[in-house]
Structure 1
Amino acid sequence: MITAPGGRTLDLANLRCVFTLQGWTTSQWGSAVFKIYNLSDDTANAIQAGEFSSIQLIAGYQNNSGILFDGKIRYSSRSLENKTDQVVTIQAVDSHDAKVYATINQTLGKGYDAARVDAALMQTFEPYGVTRGRTAKMPGTKYPRSKAMFGRSTVYQDLLAKQCRFLWQFINGQYVSIFEDASLDDVIVLNGRTGLLGVPTQTIGGGAVIRCLINPTIQWRSLVQVELQSATTGYFIVNSINCQGDTMGDDWYMDLNCTAHNNLVDKPHKDSSKN
């Protein structure tokens, strides 16, 4: 679905759409490329003229669908793929304006804490359409001196995250944070019956890349339990997600870039964040 600044929407569900979603590990935006086939000339021209500002992808299965991407359109082009198929290609970025343009110019008086810094930074993201999502519970330490902040908000958010040992992201228009060693609450089991494709590929540092069918339940910092046919079980925390799909083709999978815990056996701590 694409949306114009005034709120007008256009549902593209009945058209062929090939998409690639690229996620990052921490403190980055997600990006996406969509190839939409055989739009009407009026719609294709409207997209190229910049009449639509944002694009949202909702995908999954009948009883398990959800938002995979929600971002701002940054670029579009039109091409002829073969003798019959015209394609509009859209490149979009999640929370682009907040990442690039949000700045802070504020001094916090003595006695401030990390939660106050976090709230002040959140206020600078809100004018760019960002809302607060799941948030790490900040430590309650009170600081005896005032704190001056002047500059790009994401730089100060990175400093706060390093100081308080949490990770943060813009995800589908929300600011989300979670402690470094924590995962989301629910365990998602992946095996041959629930969408696991092939065998996880080990990466440098003891991590793994896990390929599975698109499942919107799996999110950044989800805890997944992989069950192989040999009955081997391992726990992984999802650090980033890349998706590839074709609404009228065979591609329909996610690549989960994960961190393994304790030789893939012991279950990590759950998140104490608040929603």
Structure 2
Amino acid sequence: MTFLRQAELLIGPLTEAEGGGPRNEAYRIVSGGLDTDLRIRFSIDLSATSEPNKIVLAVTNLASERWARMAVKNTLVQLSVGYQDTGLKLLARGGIASCATRREGDDRVTVIEARDGYGPQTRGMLNRTYGGGMPLKDVFRDLARSLPGIDLGSIDVTGNLPPKGVHASGRVAETLNWLADRYGVTWSIQGGVLQVIKDGQGLPGEALVISSRNRNLISLSPSASGPDAAQDGVEIIAQLDPSIRPGSVVSVDSHDQPNLNGFYVAQSVNASGDTHGDDWTMTIRSTARP
């Protein structure tokens, strides 16, 4: 992998719950670290839980008329990152929660904070009865359609509702939480997409490789939890790869710590980067795949 990084930031034109609107009407900032490019810094906290992912962006010396457009609450922002030889891929998206400008020396820095899925979770309401024996997968699919601006992703759940069925009323998120607790699954919104995963399992598909050989592994350390502090996973620091998100299965291959090699499920991903600096990494906290 050649580490010639790139970033693309899209803002609007519509809110997150409206799906953002036509891509060609969004305000677009592209940066590859050149002196003529705007500097983009970011800190992204992605989690496999239903808590909305947190997005913090900082753009240096943005024109004031552009700042005014970005300051509109709930407007959709989308950050895609990648490398010159692999192209761009979505890292995070969400509705703007706050936008402010501050001074850093001679520079004016616009700081945007956004949350992935917060607006749709707040606005998603329903009053519906699901019949007895209905497949759980169909229930989750229907609930996803009740979250405005959210697409349907991987729904890894089996089984059926009880014979009496279920009546759901109020916020969609509360019904999703009830179903998750009852049937042993975890739901989250990742990049505007609802995903449902069986507890302890990962997303379907081939494992993503993080290895010394590929030069994308920076460090590896064991993680432990529980009363006996038994190892249940690893913490991985790697070169930024937007393909890896909560629920992804990763294959770790370390020359220095072969005892930790194996397959793991990412539970959280903390990504940070700077188009005009050295930072372009991610920290993955994971559990061992059963």
Alpha-carbon separation, structure 2, partners of 1:52 and 1:158:
24
Is 1:18 the equivalent of 2:46? no
Aligned AA (1:260): A
Say yes or no: does 1:4 pair with 2:20. Answer: no
Shift of 1:55: 0.9
CA contact (8 A) 2:54 2:115 kept: yes
Are 1:118 and 2:135 matched, yes or no?
no
Question: What does 1:1-275 align with in structure 2 at a 5 Å threshold?
Answer: 1-5=10-14, 7=22, 8-13=25-30, 14-48=37-71, 50=72, 53-62=75-84, 63-82=86-105, 84-125=106-147, 128-139=148-159, 141=160, 143-184=162-203, 185-194=205-214, 195-205=216-226, 206-230=232-256, 231-232=258-259, 233-261=261-289, 268=290
Q: Distance in 2 between matches of 1:183 and 1:51?
A: 34
| Cα shift at 1:68 | 0.2
8 Å contact 1:37–1:85 — kept in the other structure?
yes
The structure-2 alpha-carbon separation of the partners of 1:80 and 1:168, relative to structure 1 and needing over 3 Å to count, comes to same
CA contact (8 A) 2:220 2:234 kept: no
Q: CA separation in 2, counterparts of 1:193 and 1:20? A: 27
Counterpart-to-counterpart distance in 2, 1:227 and 1:81: 41
Listed one character per residue, the Cα deviations across residues 49-95 of structure 1 (whole Å, up to 9, x for unaligned) are x288111111021215310011111110011111x210000001111
| TM-score, with structure 1 as normaliser | 0.86
Gaps of 5+ in 2: 1-9, 15-20, 31-36, 227-231
Describe the SS at the equivalent of 2:155. Answer: coil
Deviations 1:130-183 (A, max 9, x none): 1111111431x3532242211221111112122222221111111111222322
RMSD: 2.0
What CA deviation, in whole Å up to 9, does each residue of 1:176-234 have, x standing for no partner? 11222322321222222331112324242423221101012212211212222244322
Cα shift readout 1:240-265 (whole Å, capped 9, x = no counterpart): 1111100111000011010024xxxx
Structure 1 unpaired stretches of 5+? 262-267, 269-275
**Residues in 2 aligned to 1:223 and 1:258: alpha-carbon distance in whole angstroms:** 9
Going from structure 1 to structure 2, the CA distance change for 1:260 and 1:137 (only over 3 Å counts) comes to closer
Q: Where has structure 1 moved over 6 Å in runs of 4 or more?
A: none
Identify the residue that residue 272 of structure 1 maps to in structure 2.
none
Contact residue 56 and residue 67 of structure 1 kept, 8 A: yes
Residues 213, 253 of structure 1: 8 Å contact kept: yes
Q: Number of aligned residue pairs: give it.
A: 257
**In 2, Cα distance between equivalents of 1:52 and 1:86:** 23
Q: CA deviation at 1:38?
A: 0.6
CA contact (8 A) 1:65 1:215 kept: no
- Greater mean deviation of Cα atoms: 158-167 or 238-247: 158-167
* SS of 1:219 mapped into structure 2: coil
Instruction: Provide TM-score, normalisation by structure 2.
Output: 0.82
Q: What is the CA–CA distance in structure 1 between the aligned matches of 2:265 and 2:165, rounded to whole Å?
A: 37
Which region of structure 1 is more displaced relative to structure 2, 243-252 or 91-100?
A: 91-100
Tell me if the contact between 1:64 and 1:216 (Cα under 8 Å) persists in the aligned partners. Answer: no
Q: Give the AA of the match of 1:23.
A: L
Report which stretch shifted further, 39-48 or 239-248. Answer: 39-48
- Cα contact 1:4–1:51 (8 A) shared by 2: no
